[in-house]
Amino acid sequence: RRAFGREDSKSTRDLYTALWIPDLFMKRVEADGDWSLFCPNEAPGLSHVWGDDFDNLYGRYEQEGRARRTISAQKLWFRILQAQVDTGTPFMVYKDSVNRKSNQQNLGTIQGGSLNGDVVQFAEGGEMSACPF
């Protein structure tokens, strides 16, 4: 795999990353809007909600000025796409689509899955879900 954005000697070619993307991010990309970056300790709960609940909480945190940094959503999107072209990663999984289609909605919000998104299961607290292959 080719290095992205840094010297080859400093790259981590064996680290495979994934993004858990909310619909709100894609809407901001489409509208050429901004995207705010938060510290999870200063903007708690975003990983526990999806859909309108996520949009409302995210917007509230923006209004309260909790963002550490605000960047162009399109600029970030195109950097993500360039990284995919160059390295094959990050994998992308769409948070709201996963939760909207989940047959585990009665249990709570699915907060992640396998790298390529083929396994997405609910897990609570500090637990992780797994699917043996």
**Domain locations along the chain:** 8-101
85-98 pLDDT tens trace:
998 889 888 898 88
**Residue 68: what pLDDT?**
98
**Residue 98: what pLDDT?**
85
H, E, C per residue of 12-48 = CCCCCCEEEECHHHHHHHHCCCEEEECCCCCCCCHHH
Rounded to an integer, what distance in angstroms lies between the CA atom of residue 46 and that of residue 20?
A: 12
| Position 54 pLDDT exceeds 70 | yes
**Residue 3: what pLDDT?**
55
Q: What value does the mean pLDDT of the chain take? A: 84
| Position 13 pLDDT exceeds 80 | no
The secondary structure of residue 88, as a DSSP letter, is S
60-82 pLDDT tens trace:
999 999 999 999 999 999 999 99
